[in-house]
Amino acid sequence: MKNVIKSFIAGLITFGAMSCETSNNNTEVNDQLTTDSIYVEVDTSEYLYNINIDTLVVKEGKIRRNQNLSDVLTKYDIDYSTIYKLANNSKGVFDVRRIKYGQKYTLLFGADSNRVDYFIYEEDDINYVVFNVKDSCTVYKGEKPVTLQKKEVHGDITSSLYQTLTDQNESPLLVNLLSDVFAWQIDFFHIQKGDGFKVIFFEKVVEDSVVGIDHIEAAMFRHLGKDYYAFDYEYNGKQEYFDEFGNSLRKEFLKAPLHFSRISSSFSRRRYHPVQKRYKAHLGTDYAAPIGTPIHAVGDGEIIAATYSKYNGNYVKIRHNSVYTTQYLHMNKIKKGIRRGVRVTQGDVIGYVGKTGLASGPHLCYRFWKNGKQVDSRKQELPSSEPLPDSLITSYQEQIMPLKLELDKVDLIMSK
């Protein structure tokens, strides 16, 4: 019977509602703290995970490979009936099948009984799940207190934005955030030596450790000799980025449909085709990327084709308005739900890079039409979103000017 219940818990068979009472045996648990779990006794303040631990013993561990909730808790004399109830009560709060290898957990023991009162699983650096083993088998989520720490970084690019930031021990997440902010102004596939940036941002700090980046407050990016500014500003209930004049940085289209790849073949009226072995027009831009790389719609629009053809392979075509249409070729597969007549929003994933159709290797061929004529997407002056209204410009300028002065005081050795 014990094995049957254990298999139910491990596989998360549907649980029925039950009452819960404490069912730990009052046995010595120290023998259970073996090398199977990496643990350490820790000194804490009076509260931990918002639980008063004044009379509790605190121990920490990490989830081992292939461990589930039952594997962890039975090591500490928690019986299968209690684990069954905890798993049942976690429904709608936390899927216990999502417990991951390497994640930290904490056990709170009664000081006198050596009995587990609480099991806390950390989903990430901020979010955690509390399993109350003591007397209720309730399961609830919590968040650690997060403080924001302002930071400034600048750099001259000699090889890539990623390398420049990692050389300064900055998180790769900052690369992604900068590329998102300037996605409509800068083609990050064409970053040049001599480009540079300055950025003011806020880091998330939990328990004196930096755990992520909250947001970019202000930034300047110099690309091909031109300075682009971005300032975070709340407008119509949303945080948006505007330039120093109050113009929205959000264009009607993204500069590229992929994040961080490379252009393997540009738009050309005469290009040697590697498969057909002859010169012909190449009315698109090829982005080389690994198979499975997500492909994003560059703008809002309606799917007018999502199918397969001999030369294009799996492809999607989007009509954005009466002027602009885009097409995405050679997909490994089209994302589920993407079909003719479906409307998509800028940034939506529509498929994944592949090499179907007439393709010599994994890449995306991105094509762009303006007024029914195929043109080079990288040479188009794309329309901007609406700027801030005149009534807000004065207050906007008052807010951003100290930030702009802060950015401008940093002297970078960049091409001008």
DSSP string over 18-30: ------------G
- The verdict on 244 and 393 lying in the same domain is yes
Nearest Cα neighbor of 240 from 387, 120, 114 is: 387
Are residues 137 and 103 located together in one domain of the fold? yes
CATH value at residue 281 = 2.70.70.10
Q: Considering the domain boundaries, does residue 413 fall inside one?
A: no
Domain end (from 113, 143, 173): 143
Per-residue pLDDT of the chain (416 residues; tens, 9 = 90+): 444 444 444 444 333 333 455 444 444 444 444 334 554 555 545 889 999 888 888 999 999 999 999 998 988 888 898 999 999 899 999 999 889 999 999 999 987 767 899 999 999 999 999 999 987 889 999 999 999 999 999 999 988 888 999 999 998 889 889 988 988 888 777 788 889 999 999 999 998 899 999 999 999 999 988 999 999 999 988 889 999 999 999 878 888 898 755 454 444 444 444 554 444 445 678 898 899 999 999 999 999 999 999 999 999 999 998 889 999 999 999 999 999 999 999 999 999 999 999 888 899 999 999 888 888 887 777 767 889 999 999 999 999 999 999 999 877 665 44
Q: Is there a single domain that holds both residue 153 and residue 89?
A: no
Angstrom CA distances, 394 to 84, 264, 397, stand at: 61, 45, 5
Query: Within a domain: residue 323?
Result: yes
Do 210 and 339 lie in one domain? The reply is no
- 301-309 vs 294-296, strand pairing mode: unpaired
Q: What amino acid occupies position 210?
A: V
Determine, yes or no, domain membership for 41: yes
What is d(CA 114, CA 134) in angstroms, rounded to the nearest whole number? 12
Same domain, 223 and 114: no
Domain containing residue 74: CATH number = 3.10.450.350
CB proximity list for 373: less than 8 A, separation 6 or greater: none
Q: Final residue of a domain: which of 104, 124, 143?
A: 143
Asked if residue 299 and residue 170 are part of one domain, the reply reads: no
**Is 283 in the same domain as 351?**
yes
Kindly state whether residue 414 falls inside one of the protein's structural domains: no
State the total domains in the chain. 3
What phi-psi label fits residue 278: left (phi over 0), alpha (psi between -120 and 50 degrees) or beta? Answer: beta
**Per the structure block, which two tokens stand in for 387?**
């700027």
* Residue 416 domain-assigned (yes or no): no
Q: Report the 10 Å Cβ neighbour count for 314.
A: 20
Q: Is 210 helix (H, G, I), strand (E, B) or coil?
A: strand
Q: Which pair of tokens denotes residue 190?
A: 């064409």
Domain that holds residue 289: 262-379
Together in a domain, 158 and 205? yes
Which region holds residue 330: left if phi is over 0, alpha if psi is between -120 and 50, else beta?
left
Our CA dihedral for 28, 34, 37, 43, rounded to 10 degrees, sits at 60
Q: Which of 115, 143, 171 is the last residue of a domain?
A: 143
User: 47-48 and 40-41 as β-strands: parallel, antiparallel, unpaired?
Assistant: unpaired
Taking residue 81's Cβ as centre, other Cβ atoms within 10 Å add up to 16
Residue 240 structure tokens: 């948006």
pLDDT at 412: 67
In a shared domain, residues 328 and 202: no
Based on the domain organization, do 292 and 345 belong to the same domain? yes
Q: What does R_g of the chain's alpha carbons equal in angstroms?
A: 28
Is the domain of 99 the same as that of 122? yes
The C-alpha atoms of residue 234 and residue 87 are separated, in whole angstroms, by 42
Residue 241 and residue 95 share a domain: no
